[in-house]
Structure 1
Amino acid sequence: MAYYHGVKTRQIETSVSTPVAAGSGIAFVVGTAPVHMVGGKTNVPILGNNYNEVVTALGYSDNWEKYNLCEVMYSHFKLYGVSPVVFVNVLDPAKHKKVVPAADIDLVEKKAYLPLEAIKSTVVVKSEAGAGGTAYEVGKDYDLFYDNEKLVLEVLDGGTILESTTKLNIAYSEVDSSKVTDAEIIGGFNVETKESTGFELIDKVFPMLGIIPDIILCPGWSHKAEIAAIMSSKAQNINGIFEGKALIDVDTTTVKHYADAPAWKRADNINSKTQILCFPMCKLGNRVFHMSTQMAGLIARVDTENGDCPCESPSNKLMQIDSAVLKDGTEIAIGLQEANFLNSNGIVTALNFIGGFVLWGNETACFPANTDVKDYFICVSRMFNWVSNSVILTYWSRIDSKLNRRLIDSIIDSLNIWLNGLTSEEKLLGGRVEFKDEENSTTALMAGKAVFHIYMTPPSPAKELEFILEYDANYITAALKA
Structure 2
Amino acid sequence: MMYKHGIDIVEQRTGPEPIRSLSAVQVVFGTAQVNLLDDPAAAVNKPIVINSEADAKTKLGYSRDNRDFDFTVNHSLFASLELYNVAPIVVINVLDPAVHKTDVTDEVVSISKGTAKIANKKVLLSSVVAENADGLTTYERDVDYTLSFNTAGEPVIGVISGGQLDGQTEVTVSYSALDPSAVTEVDVIGGYDAATGVRTGIELMTSVYPQYNILGAQLLAPGFSHKPDVAAVLAAKSQKINGNFSAMNVLDVDTTAVTKYEDVAAWKVDNGYDNKESIVAWPMVKKNGQVLYFSAVLAARIAQTDAENDDVPNVSPSNKPFNIDATVLKSGTEMYLDQPEANVLNGAGIVTAINFNGWRTWGNNTAAFPESTLPQDRFIAVRRVFQWWGNTFILAYFNKVDNPADTKLIESVVSAENIRANGFAAEGKISGAVIEFRESMNPIENILNGKIVFIQRIGAYSPAEQITNILEFDPTITATALGGA
TM-score, normalization by structure 2: 0.91
Q: 1:33 is matched with which residue?
A: 32
Greater alpha carbon shift after TM alignment, 119-128 vs 323-332: 119-128
Corresponding residue of 1:472? 474
More contact order relative to length (CA 8 Å, sep ≥ 6): 1
The Cα of 1:159 is off from its aligned counterpart by: 2.2
| CA apart distance, 1:118 | 1.6
**Residue 142 of structure 1: aligned partner:** 145
Aligned position for 1:399: 401
Task: Quote how far apart the aligned CAs of 1:475 are.
Answer: 3.1
Moved more, 78-87 or 470-479: 470-479
Deviations 1:420-446 (A, max 9, x none): 000011101111111122222222222
Displacement of 1:35: 1.1
- Structure 1 equivalent of residue 107 of structure 2: 103
Indicate conservation of the 8 Å contact 1:44/1:201, yes or no.
yes
Aligned to 1:123: 128
Please identify, of 114-123 and 266-275, the stretch whose mean Cα deviation from structure 2 is larger.
Answer: 114-123
Aligned match of 2:172 in 165, 169, 183?
A: 169
CA RMSD of aligned residues (A): 1.5
What per-residue deviation string (whole Å, max 9, x for no partner) do you get for residues 275-304 of structure 1?
110000011121111111110110000000
SS of the residue aligned with 2:87? coil
**Paired residue type of 2:240:** N
Give the corresponding residue for 1:290: 293
Equivalent pair of 1:222/1:249 in contact (CA under 8 Å): yes
1:165-189 per-position Cα deviation (integer Å, ceiling 9, x unaligned) = 1111211122222222211100111
Tell me the residue number matched to 1:181.
184
Match of 2:9 in 1: none
Residue identity opposite 1:426 in structure 2? G
Q: Mark the CA change 1:330 to 1:481 in structure 2 (over 3 Å): closer, same or farther.
A: closer
Larger deviation, residues 332-341 vs 136-145? 136-145
Structure 1 stretches of 4+ with a deviation exceeding 6 A read none
Counterpart residue number, 2:69: 64
Corresponding residue of 1:16:
none
Contact 2:144 2:166 in 1 (8 A): no
* C-alpha deviation, 1:139, in angstroms: 1.0
What is the distance in 2 between the residues matched to 1:475 and 1:135?
A: 94
Q: In the aligned structure 2, how far is the partner of 1:64 from the partner of 1:477?
A: 65
- Aligned partners of 1:177, 1:291: CA distance in 2, in Å? 19
Which residue does the alignment assign to 2:78?
Answer: 74
Q: 1:270 aligns with which of 268, 273, 278?
A: 273
Q: State the distance in 1 between where 2:303 and 2:105 align.
A: 46
Aligned to 1:433: 435
Unpaired runs of at least 5, structure 2: 1-20
**By how many angstroms is 1:398 displaced?**
0.6
CA contact (8 A) 1:104 1:129 kept: no
- 1:252 aligns to 2:269 (yes or no): no
8 A Cα contact 1:273 1:365, kept in partner: yes
Could you list the runs of 5+ residues in structure 1 that have no partner in the other structure? Answer: 1-21
Q: CA deviation at 1:262?
A: 0.4
Identity of aligned residues (%): 38
In structure 1, distance between residues paired with 2:340 and 2:441: 47
- For the Cα contact (< 8 Å) 1:82–1:300, is it kept in 2? yes
Q: Which residue of 1 aligns with 2:388?
A: 386
Question: Take 1:301 and 1:216, find their aligned partners in 2: how far apart are those partners?
Answer: 16
Distance of 2:479 and 2:322 partners within structure 1: 50
**How many residue pairs were aligned?**
456
Tell me if the contact between 2:22 and 2:88 (Cα under 8 Å) persists in the aligned partners.
no
Q: Which amino acid aligns with 1:314?
A: P
Partner in structure 2 of residue 314 of structure 1: 317
**Larger CA Rg, structure 1 vs 2:** 1
How far, CA to CA, are the matches of 1:425 and 1:258 in structure 2?
39
For residues 122 and 481 of structure 1, what CA distance do their matches in structure 2 show? 90
* 1:215-254 matched pairs, under 5 angstroms: 215-254=218-257
Q: Distance in 1 between matches of 2:236 and 2:317?
A: 23
Contact 2:366–2:379, Cα closer than 8 Å, also in 1:
yes
8 Å CA contact 2:160–2:166 kept in 1: the answer is no
Whichever residue aligns with residue 211 of structure 1, its letter is I
